[in-house]
């Protein structure tokens, strides 16, 4: 139950901070301020949720304190990532997160005592013929939450991409002028620039929306399909994603940044989904 509470705490902290207005990571280090309510809410959530684990789930004070401490460190590194684009430290925290969850699974495997709530739920589920444990249900909720904003932040940190995404370059606007004896009588500007500027604004407005919205659905779907053993469907889904993004990647043939971004982002996203699938598999079947 330690690992599940850790995953749930980090996921809820990220969701709460995002809902309350946590800014997106930005390249420009000037003028990036985080509302105090966001940090306060994150710190409170990082304190309250582990405390509930101590009271409701019957976890040890040491385990609860470790979860709370890591959650506070996570909040601090996330704020540094948002304000100063320090994605390296945030990635290190993500790796430490995976290590702690894995260690928590081994600790949970050796534990025998269960809280009254957990025992009551498992007894009721067994009585009604429901093949579901409290930890599996709790873990599924935690995984769904961690596959949303937390995973988005990790993917963005992996390739250092922020909301100040690359915009299409605009050519310098040309003007036709009519002059007489060095005096400008009239001038006409070309109208193509406005169309290009609109295209640039549309590109900047939609660059990250696809990843933020579609990414969580993709990861949740891959995790669910993996649990049900539908590997062929997962392969088809990944192939379809490559086909859909191929025109965008091929259009960026000169720079190659789109292909690299797609490859790195997809691999990180799929790795997260695979780890979540393995985590739920262990909760369901044991080590």
Q: Is the dihedral of CA 128, 277, 215, 69 positive or negative?
A: positive
Q: What is the C-alpha to C-alpha distance for residues 73 and 107, in angstroms, rounded to an integer?
A: 22
At residue 184, the pLDDT reads 65
Segments of the chain with pLDDT less than 70 = 25-32, 109-115, 161-211, 246, 248-258, 287
What's the number of domains the chain is made of? Answer: 1
Secondary structure element (H or E) that encloses residue 38, with its range: helix 36-55
Residue 282: phi, psi to the nearest 5?
-65, -40
Q: Is residue 6 part of a domain?
A: yes
73: burial class by Cβ within 10 Å (0-12, 13-18, 19+)? Answer: middle
Model confidence over 222-271: pLDDT tens digits? 999 998 888 888 888 888 887 877 676 666 666 656 677 778 888 898 99
- Give pLDDT, residue 271: 93
Q: Give the chain's end-to-end CA distance (angstroms, integer).
A: 14
Q: Report pLDDT for 228.
A: 87
Q: Would you say residue 191 lies in a domain? A: no
CA 181 from chain centre, in angstroms, equals 63
DSSP state, residue 228: T
> In this structure, is residue 82 part of a structural domain?
yes
Distance CA 101, CA 189 (A): 61
Q: Which helix or strand (DSSP H or E) is residue 117 part of?
A: helix 116-127
Asked, for residue 264, whether it belongs to a domain, the answer is yes
How big, in percent rounded to 5, are the helix, strand and coil portions of the chain? 70, 5, 25
- The answer to whether residue 168 sits within a structural domain is no
Structural domain contains residue 20 = yes
Q: Is 175 domain-assigned?
A: no
User: What is the reported pLDDT for 24?
Assistant: 73
Structural domain contains residue 186: no
155 close to 269: Cβ distance less than 8 angstroms: yes
CA angle 264, 28, 45 (to 5 degrees): 75
Provide the domain limits for residue 80: 2-163+209-285
């Amino acid at each position: 139950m330690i690992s599940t509470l850790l995953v749930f705490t980090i996921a809820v902290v990220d969701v709460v901070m995002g809902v309350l207005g946590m800014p997106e990571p930005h390249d420009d280090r000037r003028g990036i301020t985080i509302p105090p309510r966001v940090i306060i809410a994150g710190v409170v959530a990082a304190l309250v949720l582990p405390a509930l684990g101590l009271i409701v789930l019957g976890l040890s004070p040491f385990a609860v304190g470790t979860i709370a401490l890591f959650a506070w460190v996570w909040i601090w590194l996330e704020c540094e990532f948002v304000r100063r684009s320090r994605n390296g430290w945030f990635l290190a925290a993500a790796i430490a997160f995976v290590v702690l969850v894995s260690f928590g699974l081994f600790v949970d495997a050796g534990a025998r005592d269960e809280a009254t709530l957990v025992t009551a739920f498992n007894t009721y589920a067994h009585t009604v013929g429901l093949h579901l444990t409290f930890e599996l249900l709790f873990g599924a909720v935690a995984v769904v939450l961690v596959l949303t904003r937390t995973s988005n932040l990790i993917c963005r940190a992996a390739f250092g991409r922020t909301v100040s995404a690359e915009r299409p370059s605009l050519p310098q606007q040309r003007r036709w002028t009519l002059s007489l004896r060095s005096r400008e009588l009239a001038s006409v500007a070309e109208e193509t620039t406005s169309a290009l500027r609109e295209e640039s604004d549309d590109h900047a407005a939609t660059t990250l929306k696809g990843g933020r919205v579609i990414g969580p659905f993709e990861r949740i779907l891959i995790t669910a399909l993996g649990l049900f053993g539908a590997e062929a469907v997962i392969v088809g889904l990944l192939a379809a994603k490559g086909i859909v993004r191929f025109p965008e990647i091929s259009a960026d043939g000169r720079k190659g940044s789109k292909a690299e971004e797609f490859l790195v982002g997809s691999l990180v996203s799929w790795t997260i989904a695979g780890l979540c699938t393995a985590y739920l598999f262990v909760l369901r079947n044991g080590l």
